[in-house]
Amino acid sequence: MKLPELIQNAMWDATFDIVELVQTRAVDNLQASMTHSTGELAQSLKYEVVVDDSNNVVGRVWSDNAVATYRELGTGIHGQESPKDLPSGISPAYRQTPWFIPTEAVDVDLNAIYGMPKVTIKGKEFYISQGQPARQFLVPALRSVLDGDAEKMIKSRFDEIQGGLNS
């Protein structure tokens, strides 16, 4: 194997190590902060490593579950006002008016858990929501890995190449 290919493989492996750890920490963050959870959100987190059209190694961690976005960024007025660490280029727009959630659409009592008021309209019960604050789990996981572990992981993969070249 030629050196450029060895370097590309080491970078791919290091990126895989990094996104796998980000996903693990994000799951840990979720599980530590959710008391009323089925685990569905934590189980929805995925990761991949790809080589893009410019031959760059790119790692991604994401969820297809919309709740992940709501939790990470917050919703409504409360989400807008809550402190959060947003990556550059991200500027969400927040709904400014309350909305109604049918009580039968959720498995838990949102009044008991979040203090959402309950109203009855034409015999049907609803919760009134003005949103929830951001409760970030993914960005903190990413920051903790990038600030503490990523450099070591990359170095370890490149040390493997160097050790193989010296053999």
Residue pLDDT, tens place only, 34-92:
877 778 899 999 999 999 999 999 999 999 999 999 999 999 999 999 999 998 899 99
- Whether 151 is in a domain gets the answer yes
Provide the number of structural domains found in the chain. Answer: 1
Share of the chain above pLDDT 70, in %: 97
Residue 125 lies inside a defined structural domain of this protein: no
Q: Comparing 29-33, 99-103, 115-119, which segment has the lowest mean pLDDT?
A: 29-33
User: Using CA atoms, how far apart are residues 48 and 62, in angstroms rounded to an integer?
Assistant: 9
**Residue 110 within a domain:** no
- Note whether residue 105 is domain-resident: no
Alpha-carbon torsion (76, 79, 81, 86), positive or negative: negative
100 found inside a domain? no
**pLDDT band at residue 162 using 50, 70 and 90 as cut-offs:** confident
Is residue 59 one of the residues assigned to a domain? yes
* Host domain of residue 143: 3-79+132-166
Is a pLDDT exceeding 90 seen at residue 163? no
Q: Give the CA distances from residue 20 to residues 15, 27, 47, 61, 161, in Å, rounded to whole numbers and listed in that order.
A: 8, 11, 7, 8, 21
* C-beta of residue 137 within 8 angstroms of C-beta of residue 73: no
Residue 87 placed within a domain: no
Tell me the whole-structure pTM to 2 decimals: 0.85
- Domain presence at residue 157: yes
